[in-house]
Amino acid sequence: MASSKKAQSVSPLAPLGIEAAMKAKEDPNSVVRPKIFDEFALTDRVGLVSGGNRGLGLEMAIALAEAGAQVVYCFDLSKEPSEEFKASREYVSKLGNGSRLEYFCADVRNQELLWKKAEEIGDKEQRFDFCIAAAGILKPHVECLEYPGHEFRDVMEVNTTGVLFTAQAAGRQMARFGRGGSIILIASMSGSITNRDHAWVSYNTSKSAVLQMARSMACELGEQRIRVNTLSPGYIYTQMTTAYLDKEPHLFDKWSGMNPLGRLGRPDEMRGVATWLASDASSFLF
């Protein structure tokens, strides 16, 4: 006997998959077309990316624009956007889908400023749909018993406290507009495992805290259809890791060998998963 209970949730793109196939069978004249790319589309959506002046943050911002986001607001410490950002902004303007990148200067440690900036974005765009908290720093390795207090605090304030403030700023606007949304916190494999030779007590601790932060926020914000997830990349060859490897070049081969593929990751390899998490294709992932 068929259940009389109604589905608790329905995709805005329904019917999909099997349901679409069954409806097509009932109506031979119906038009059949693939919808999987529609599920990944970010058409008309608005969001925020911290650490978006270069590196992983900017790489993911471009991907979101390519997926159709109306505007991706990127912010970083630099008062002026980098040459990479300027080139990326021009590139996005030529996509032909109406997407754009915007830049503003902000410090992730300034909670009041981030809340204010996010509110200004909400006022202007009248929606807020996604957030990627990608800003982070990496300090030189120091033995844990000798680690300076000021350096530990610096890493924790940017990599953990700054992530919270960024997520708060975006989440407040998502709650304000009542459309739900997706918050993506960039953690690291170092939050789950420890490289014995380079433990990075501050970095590992900060990223472990981000993982737990996401779990707590996901539970609290889920009722408002605001999803919170983390990405924990392995070693990615970015400007930040390049600067570190320049000082300890012997680690290049060592880090590459720790990966089953035998190489470091590319920044562009984060594009797909970031777009997936920001889109409706991951609507039950939290």
Catalytic residue annotation: 188, 203, 207
Q: How far apart are the two ends of the chain, measured CA to CA in Å?
A: 33
Distance CA 187, CA 170 (A): 18
268 within 8 A of 275, measured Cβ to Cβ: no
Distance CA 93, CA 64 (A): 13
**Residue 264 phi, psi dihedral angles, 5° rounding:** -80, 160
Beta strands of 110-256 (E only): which ranges? 130-133, 181-186, 226-231
Which residues, 6 or more positions from 239, have their beta carbon under 8 angstroms from its beta carbon? 54, 55
Classify 85 as helix, strand or coil.
Answer: helix
